């Protein structure tokens, strides 16, 4: 069953036709797999940066780890801005209103570029002071500032990538964003290889070879990622506006000026998501502040641990993308019965997949940390943290995928409040209490407990069903 079968199944939703349980599950799998690949590729880029920079020593690794939570904050705000428009597209496509979907796309292109440009200027303005605010030491602050400055200036590229990928996914095309994100990951490896390390002697198949390199270290990692994002953003936009079956803009005239009605709907969806990302990343920043007094080894291990664990939960975010598309199109077609079934199928699938990933994370923790850093103390701390976190993965999946369900319905305010309470009232309180006596293990135990609690409250809300309304 290929792309044609996938499109035919999506048409069953739009045309109001009955779907068997097998068809629903197969469509969920068909949409989830490319999105999982895209999500894993995205986090693999952070893994690649961390692993390659980790070869330069603990200080270099800590310089990226110090600002990583702040980069996720900006990353999340760009993602939220794109989602506010793409969910509207999912509703229009599900209801067969393709002209309206393309109108939303045109307006979104202008709006998100303006938003990300302002965000880039704000990031550049704080880049010099940010490491100091986060409690970094003199040994790592300058590298942290340079890394974050390059990241901030590349935000418009990241934003366009997010928008184009989100639009394609919400129209039902998961494969192109997935393949292009894999390409971005490969390009990141290539660019980093030449930008991070200096010119050096290597041996390939027994032949000595002088490999050129810029020797830029941490700065090279940031530049390599930005270059990979630029290439893929251009390809993603080209496909969206010229090749997409439902959303291509070529040969059709229309206004790019944002209208209040579409902007208001985008704000209704995006603003709670943006606040939620601020809440979550603010909590992660506070966690960094809690970890910082534990020393450079703890900072590096915490950063590596977060990156490694991300590979475990990215499949959950991939399934959540599929849930957003399926729920958005089902509600757009006015089919609440199908909406509830897709919600349950996607959440159950996410919990099963991430449960398996949790087992892999626990067993493979030494290998994972060993691939990221040669430092024995950093490895020891990281392995202990990952094995604590492994137990939370199924319930974390419940929260991730249920959130994707709520986003597909355009219902984001209540989930934002739920995340705020769970993270700030449960995680940070426990982390602050446990860190002085248990060190880094206490911080990760607090995270494990909080994720289980969050999954439980999201499951309870999912079953109530009062989120199935499009405003």
Q: Tell me 375's DSSP state.
A: -
Per-residue pLDDT tens for 244-264? 989 999 878 888 998 999 999
Q: What is the pLDDT of residues 284-308, one digit of tens each?
A: 778 878 887 888 788 888 877 887 7
Mean pLDDT of all residues in 412-428: 90
> What are the tens digits of pLDDT across the range 337-382?
888 999 999 999 999 999 999 999 999 989 988 877 788 888 898 8
Query: Model pTM?
Result: 0.78
Checking if the pLDDT of 1 tops 50, the result is no
**What confidence score (pLDDT) does residue 174 get?**
83
The region that residue 206 occupies, defined by phi over 0 for left and psi between -120 and 50 for alpha, beta otherwise, is: left
DSSP annotation of 252: -
pLDDT the model gives residue 292: 78
CA distance 172 to 365: 35
Measured at the CA of 231, the angle between CA 228 and CA 237, to 5 degrees, comes to: 130
Residue range 44-92, pLDDT digits in tens: 666 666 677 777 777 777 788 788 778 878 888 898 899 999 999 988 9
Count CA atoms closer than 13 A to 162's CA, side-chain side: 24
The residue to which tokens 């290539």 are assigned: 190
pLDDT in tens, 423-432: 899 999 999 8
Beta carbons of 463 and 408 less than 8 angstroms apart? no
Residues 6+ apart with CB under 8 A from 70: 130, 134, 148, 281, 285
Alpha-carbon Rg for the chain, nearest whole angstrom, is 22
Average pLDDT, the chain: 86
The single-letter DSSP state of residue 95 is T
């Amino acid at each position: 069953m290929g792309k044609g079968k996938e499109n035919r199944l999506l048409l069953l939703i739009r045309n109001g036709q009955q779907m068997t349980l097998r068809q629903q599950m197969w469509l969920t799998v068909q949409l989830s797999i490319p999105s999982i690949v895209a999500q894993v590729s995205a986090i693999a880029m952070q893994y690649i940066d961390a692993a390659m920079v980790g070869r330069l020593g603990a200080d270099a690794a800590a310089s990226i780890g110090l600002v990583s939570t702040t980069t996720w904050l900006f990353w999340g705000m760009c993602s939220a801005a794109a989602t506010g428009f793409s969910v509207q597209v999912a509703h229009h496509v599900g209801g067969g209103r393709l002209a309206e979907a393309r109108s939303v796309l045109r307006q979104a292109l202008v709006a998100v570029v303006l938003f990300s440009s302002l965000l880039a200027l704000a990031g550049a303005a704080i880049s010099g002071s940010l490491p100091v605010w986060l409690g970094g030491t003199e040994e790592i602050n300058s590298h942290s500032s340079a890394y974050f400055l390059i990241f901030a200036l590349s935000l418009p590229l990241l934003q366009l990538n997010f928008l184009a990928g989100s639009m394609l996914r919400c129209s039902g095309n998961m494969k192109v964003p997935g393949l292009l994100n894999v390409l971005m990951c490969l390009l990141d490896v290539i660019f980093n290889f030449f930008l991070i390390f200096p010119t050096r002697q290597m041996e390939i198949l027994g032949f000595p070879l002088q490999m050129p390199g810029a020797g830029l270290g941490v700065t090279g990692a940031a530049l390599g990622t930005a270059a990979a994002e630029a290439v893929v953003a251009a390809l993603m936009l080209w496909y969206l506006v010229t090749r997409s079956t439902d959303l291509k803009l070529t040969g059709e005239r229309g206004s790019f000026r944002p209208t209040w009605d579409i902007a208001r709907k985008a704000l209704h969806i995006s603003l709670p998501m943006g606040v939620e990302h601020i809440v979550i990343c603010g909590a992660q920043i506070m966690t960094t502040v809690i970890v910082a007094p534990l020393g450079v080894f703890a900072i590096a291990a915490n950063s590596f641990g977060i990156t490694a664990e991300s590979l475990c939960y990215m499949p959950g975010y991939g399934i959540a993308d599929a849930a957003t598309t399926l729920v958005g199109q089902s509600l757009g077609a006015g089919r609440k019965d199908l909406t509830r079934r897709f919600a349950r199928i996607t959440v159950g699938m996410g919990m099963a997949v991430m449960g398996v990933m949790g087992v892999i994370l626990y067993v493979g923790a030494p290998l994972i940390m060993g691939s990221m850093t040669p430092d024995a103390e950093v490895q020891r701390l990281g392995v202990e943290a990952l094995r604590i976190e492994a137990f939370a993965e199924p319930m974390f999946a419940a929260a991730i995928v249920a959130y994707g369900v709520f986003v597909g319905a355009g219902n984001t305010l209540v989930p934002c409040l739920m995340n705020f309470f769970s993270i700030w009232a449960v995680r940070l309180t426990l982390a602050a209490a446990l860190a002085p006596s248990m060190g880094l293990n206490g911080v990760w135990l607090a995270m494990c407990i909080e994720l289980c609690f969050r999954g439980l409250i999201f499951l309870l809300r999912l079953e109530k069903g009062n989120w199935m309304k499009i405003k």
